[in-house]
Amino acid sequence: MSSASGLRQPKDTNKGKNGFRERHIPLNAANPDDLAISRHHFAQYVLASKGSYNGPSLKELKATPNAAPVETLAIVDDKIKELRRQHQEDIELLTAFQAAEYRQEVLSRYNCIDDSIMGVDAEDPVQVDYLAALNELYNDARPMKRFQHDMDDALSQIRYSYLKSLLPLLAQRRQLKSRETHIRRQRDAQFPQSIEEYHNIPDRDIQLRIARFLLRSNSEKERMMDDYGWVWRAVNPLISAFKANEGFKNEIVESVKVGQASDSRRRSTATPGWQL
């Protein structure tokens, strides 16, 4: 049977080129060749296994708002997972179809053998030559190279269609990851300038990071500043408020204690991860 490792390798002259036609080229319907027949057969299989497209009508598309849905990293990841699942299913269906086709082809060729002529007269050169020619024809047909090539072509076409859909999604995922990293770094580089700004931080983890920073020594503060892109002129106002306001200092100490207790509970029930 066909396999990815056993596919026919491309010629050196075709390296770097797209061997699949991207546009429709009409074939001679009156005198179809083997290629046209095999493609028609494969098209029938695709329609039978995948069905036809019943999407919205042109009128419905025109009535649809032009605003496209926002693509998030989670949505793109789901699309990639679904595409890979569907491709695996397509390969399994194609393999089952090819196996059934191969079995039918072998049975058909076997049934074409005329057992009545096996007992030929060895003294009759006409019968001997006829049987030899028949056996030669049968032996030449047994490997069924054209049938194997058709199977390879079908697998290659399915994989090409899969990769053609997958590669743009992978590129989109890289872009979204890069964007999220950039936004996170920008957010991490921001530092509250007052107690009020600290209280207005919506993300509890970021608040806890700031609280831990305020309790660190100067050398540890510098390491965190290097990690998050903070500078002294940005952190000094809150450090001064922390030193001058006893109530705020107690709040920070209590916040870190609660955060440490929460981290301990998470570590006891989950795999240890990155800590703020």
Tens of pLDDT, residue by residue over 99-135, are: 887 788 777 767 766 666 566 666 778 877 877 877 7
Provide the 3-class DSSP secondary structure of residue 36. helix
Assess if residue 140 is contained within a domain.
yes
- Say what the pLDDT of residue 271 is: 43
Q: Quick check: 232 and 179 in contact, CB under 8 A?
A: no
- Mean pLDDT on 131-141: 72
Q: Are residues 167 and 225 in the same domain?
A: no
Is 90 exceeded by the pLDDT of residue 213? Answer: yes
Amino acid at residue number 27: L
Q: Quick check: 59 and 145 in contact, CB under 8 A?
A: no
Q: Are residues 103 and 211 in the same domain?
A: no
Number of domains in the chain: 2
Band of pLDDT at residue 168, cut at 50, 70 and 90: very high
Residue 141 is part of which domain span?
Answer: 37-42+71-189
Q: Are residues 117 and 205 in the same domain?
A: no
Q: Determine the distance from the C-alpha atom of residue 28 to the mean position of all C-alpha atoms in its chain, rounded to a whole number.
A: 37
Band of pLDDT at residue 76, cut at 50, 70 and 90: very high
- Mean pLDDT on 170-180: 93
Band of pLDDT at residue 237, cut at 50, 70 and 90: very high
Assess if residue 88 is contained within a domain.
yes
Band of pLDDT at residue 274, cut at 50, 70 and 90: very low
Is 60 exceeded by the pLDDT of residue 165? Answer: yes
Bin 2: left if φ > 0, else alpha if -120 < ψ < 50, else beta: beta
- Say what the pLDDT of residue 129 is: 82
Residues 6+ apart with CB under 8 A from 168: none
> When comparing pLDDT for 171 and 10, which is higher?
171
The sign one gets for the Cα dihedral 225, 231, 232, 236 is negative
Q: Are residues 83 and 184 in the same domain?
A: yes
Is 60 exceeded by the pLDDT of residue 272? Answer: no
154, 171, 189: which is the final residue of a domain?
189
142, 160, 189: which is the final residue of a domain?
189
164, 189, 214: which is the final residue of a domain?
189
**Element holding 119 (H helix, E strand):** none
> When comparing pLDDT for 37 and 174, which is higher?
174
φ, ψ of residue 88 to 5 degrees: the values are -60, -40
Q: Are residues 225 and 130 in the same domain?
A: no
Q: Angle of helix 218-228 relative to helix 204-215, nearest 10 degrees?
A: 150
Band of pLDDT at residue 65, cut at 50, 70 and 90: low
Bin 16: left if φ > 0, else alpha if -120 < ψ < 50, else beta: left
Cα separation values, 271 from 76, 206, 238, 266, 275, Å: 26, 21, 34, 8, 12
Pairwise CA distance, residues 81 & 76, whole Å: 9
Band of pLDDT at residue 83, cut at 50, 70 and 90: very high
Pairwise CA distance, residues 246 & 271, whole Å: 37
Q: Which tokens sit at 219?
A: 């050398």
Assess if residue 234 is contained within a domain.
yes
Q: Quick check: 90 and 158 in contact, CB under 8 A?
A: yes
- Say what the pLDDT of residue 222 is: 92
Q: Are residues 179 and 197 in the same domain?
A: no
Amino acid at residue number 68: A
Q: Are residues 139 and 154 in the same domain?
A: yes
Q: Are residues 211 and 109 in the same domain?
A: no
Is 80 exceeded by the pLDDT of residue 7? Answer: no
Q: Are residues 224 and 246 in the same domain?
A: yes
Assess if residue 49 is contained within a domain.
no
Range picked from 123-132, 141-150, 221-230 for highest mean pLDDT:
221-230
- Mean pLDDT on 196-201: 91
Assess if residue 62 is contained within a domain.
no
Assess if residue 163 is contained within a domain.
yes
Assess if residue 63 is contained within a domain.
no
- Mean pLDDT on 169-176: 94
Assess if residue 155 is contained within a domain.
yes
